[in-house]
Amino acid sequence: MNLNEAYFFVAKSLTISFQEKNKKMIISDIKKNNVNWDQIVRVSTKHKVLTTLYCIFKRKGVLNFLPRELVEYMKEISQINRERNNEIIKQANEINKILTKNNIRPIFIKGAAYLLQNLYYDISERMIGDIDLICSRDDYQKVIDILKNDGYEPVIKKENRYPEFKHYPRLVKNKRIAAIEIHKELTIEKYSDEFNYGLIIQDIQNENNVSYLSFENQLNSSIISSQVDDYAFYYKNLDLKNAYDVILLSKKINKKISFSKFKKIKYILNCFLAATNYTFGEIDSLKYTKTKETEKYLNQFIILNKNQKKKILIDELKYKKLYYQNMIYFICGAIFKKENRKYLLNRMIEKIRFNKYL
């Protein structure tokens, strides 16, 4: 079993709770000793789904077929993650209480929202990095000031920070487990006119005085966060943790998924569904619209991901191209944006001071 085969094995394994054909295939492969568990651990760790895999295998009685040492390892990691996630839930509720006391309604997004809403069967399944929340532009600076007054401070203490379009630089607090990202935008500037606070505020969910996006917008946000903001669409990547989030969210929506309200970003969202269905097997709740464009993207996705050596070379070239494109875009943006000009000027001054002592 090579890495590519391990990737598809992990993807199919994540669906065995609701895809009987995948369950039969996975158990059959295990019984036939067709599984390289070192590769499975490598892939599931990279995609941050090792704990998800453990919990699903445990629920479906698959752990009995795994090596005992592997089961113990997965169990230990899952327990550590459960303890961490319990602390994250406490921290998120604490933040919500502080902000609502100041008449501000934070809207939790991404992983923190999934934990608070119990999207996963077991809280140890989902690995969480930061606590992400979004607020209105009017409340944005207030939220920053309130949390700073409560003891939060920037992870990187720099006077000259790179101007962030979406969110304030990550904040941390002593004796709190997670960093906080305070968003004023949900995606990069190019698509912010289509997916933004004004759109999502129209159908916000509120449970026990905690606010979240609608399940439909959580699904949109999850795809956009990975495919657009993290450039997965550009590189033709599919992150298994992110895709599994979308699959679970799709089962919360009582209608066919529609991207009709979008124009520019619709094609990217549809291509994601095509790649997800190919990788995980046909998912009933993730039907996509087949077009020449999506089929072309899917063919390229399949070809590239079957030839990892070729993909690595192409990704390196794409990275360089993207780096210079973003740099040019930022410099050109300095003509219209004061924060860009200020950052560039301070960078030049820093370089002059540094060179003076060489």
Count CB-CB contacts under 10 A for residue 191.
Answer: 19
pLDDT score for 347? 61
Residue 27 and residue 21 in contact, taking contact as beta carbons nearer than 8 Å: no
**How do strand 131-134 and strand 210-212 relate by DSSP bridges?**
unpaired
User: Is 208 in a helix, a strand, or coil?
Assistant: coil
For residue 182, what are the β-bridge partners?
A: 133
If you average pLDDT over residues 151-171, what whole number do you get? 75
Q: Is 330 exposed, middle or buried (0-12, 13-18, 19+ CB in 10 A)?
A: middle
Residue 325 Rama label (left phi>0; alpha psi -120 to 50; beta): alpha
User: Is 267 in a helix, a strand, or coil?
Assistant: helix
162: CB partners within 8 A, 6+ apart = 343
If you average pLDDT over residues 247-266, what whole number do you get? 87
214 has a pLDDT exceeding 90: yes
Count CB-CB contacts under 10 A for residue 99.
Answer: 21
Residue 126 and residue 115 in contact, taking contact as beta carbons nearer than 8 Å: yes
Lowest pLDDT segment from 70-74, 243-247, 349-353: 349-353
pLDDT score for 357? 42
pLDDT score for 358? 44
If you average pLDDT over residues 196-207, what whole number do you get? 92
Lowest pLDDT segment from 243-247, 282-286, 313-317, 350-354: 350-354
Greater confidence (290 vs 131) lies with 131
Residue 331 pLDDT level (bands cut at 50, 70, 90):
low
133 has a pLDDT exceeding 90: yes
pLDDT score for 342? 63
- Long-range pairs for 96-103: beta carbons < 8 A, 24 or more residues apart: 96/209, 96/210, 98/146, 98/147, 98/150, 99/135, 99/143, 99/146, 100/209, 102/142, 102/146
If you average pLDDT over residues 5-28, what whole number do you get? 90
pLDDT score for 333? 62
343 has a pLDDT exceeding 90: no
Alpha helices for 206-307 (secondary structure H): 215-224, 232-235, 240-250, 266-280, 292-306
41 has a pLDDT exceeding 60: yes
pLDDT score for 336? 65
pLDDT score for 338? 66
Greater confidence (332 vs 111) lies with 111
354 has a pLDDT exceeding 50: no
Average pLDDT, the chain: 87
pLDDT score for 330? 59
pLDDT score for 159? 61
